[in-house]
Amino acid sequence: MQKRTFLSLSLGLALSACVSSIAMAQTTLRIFTGGQQRPDVMRKIADEYEKRTPGVKIEVEVGGATSEQQQQYLNTVLASKDGALDVILIDVIRPAQYSAAQWAEPLDQFLGADKDKVMARYLPAYREANIVGGKVIALPYFADAQFLYYRKDLLEKHGVQPPKTWAELQAASQKIQAAEGNPNLSGFQTAGAPIEGTVCTYLVPMWGAGGNLTDASGKLALNTAEAKRPFELWASMKAANVTPPNLAEIPTDRIRQNFQAGNLLFAMNWGYVWQRTQGDADSQVKDKVGVVPLPGFTADKAATCVGGWQLTVSSFSKNKKAAFDFAMYLSSPEVAKMQAIAASHLPVFPEVYNDPEVLKANPWFAQALPVVQTARSRPVTPAYPRVSEIIRTNMNAFLAGSKTADAALADMSRDLATVIR
């Protein structure tokens, strides 16, 4: 009897120790994502990872509807060296900033001898964006670029072809708006609020006109006719009532909402918009949407901003290897396909664009790869937050009518000269 009691006690203690050991072996990782980057899809992907990796639990923290709001929060967390976050989703414009601030753990130590092989799989723009000073600072999560969304049903109704130039877009908008007689139907919208997207509202037409922020030697070059073209373009659109009077108040996702509600003819926006227009229960434009490359001043010379989101491992994470393993899973062709189907997020792997299931969910992806491959990067510099602030606030002031084109460009040039030398 004493032996049985002792044996039962021993087994009980052993079982308790085993359960305790399993509990201790559990690793909890917290990933930060923004509200606009489809955290619901991230949660589903994390659930799949948990099934495959029983010892790991993933918590998804969501914050901020825009890149600026997200980074404001992350500045506070990371500046205090808080280890609460393990993996962080960051805008493609930020790896250089994170590297300079030492907020991102370089991933070379984890990639080891496979570093070049792994990075070679990605689209060149994302491989280059995430390697800073020879070190891998982040891994690509999904690609992005700006496209022209349009009301396919209304263009067909009025015998109008998708525009290839800004002049064609303005003429098409005026024709259809007049014929429809709907005061709620706006012709065209692009980001105008003082947010990151408004940087592209300036750069896209400037690039399309053949201009650039800097010359061949890297010096600021805004004393050109091309640097004035964005102001001239948006002034013309406003005078023709193609853009709404409150364009300076419109952020990126408001454009999506307006388009989805059936109140917008043309929209300059990112890849995620497609799935929302087709899948959201309240969408008024399902099966009425077309997507083409953005127009240019001439049909053969258009431009677009490269976008997308990257995965970085926090320098202050207490589980860096586990965080890296999770980031590698998120940055895989399998997950790229899942995202493409569930959220119309553009893949960072060229081969995924041709996947039959991806094309069934996103027919326009068949023409998207060349656009993403030729999309242009905003300035790559640790000082990018200041560069962004200067461009978007001056562009916003012009769109709001509080600065003339000459004043906005002069102020932009003066302030950028202190950052870009």
State the helix-helix crossing angle for 197-208 and 384-400, rounded to 10 degrees: 80
User: What's the full length of the chain, in residues?
Assistant: 421
Binned at pLDDT 50, 70 and 90, residue 59 comes out as very high
In whole angstroms, give the CA distance from residue 117 to residue 122: 10
Question: What would you measure as the largest C-alpha separation in the chain, in angstroms?
Answer: 98
Q: What residue ranges define each of the domains in the chain, with the CATH number in brackets?
A: 26-144+307-374 (3.40.190.10), 146-306+380-416 (3.40.190.10)
Mean pLDDT on 40-53: 97
Q: Which residues are within 8 A (CB) of 39 and not within 5 positions of it... i.e. 6 or more apart?
A: 33, 60, 62
The helix/strand/coil state of 140 is strand
Count Cβ atoms below 10 Å from residue 237 Cβ, excluding itself: 21
pLDDT of residue 64: 86
pLDDT of residue 419: 92
Strands 186-189, 264-270: pairing is: parallel
Q: What is the pLDDT of residues 158-204, one digit of tens each?
A: 999 999 999 999 999 999 999 999 999 999 999 999 999 999 999 99
In whole angstroms, give the CA distance from residue 29 to residue 326: 9
pLDDT of residue 25: 63
Binned at pLDDT 50, 70 and 90, residue 4 comes out as very low
pLDDT of residue 65: 81
| pTM attached to this predicted model | 0.88
> Sign of dihedral through CA atoms 322, 325, 331, 332?
negative
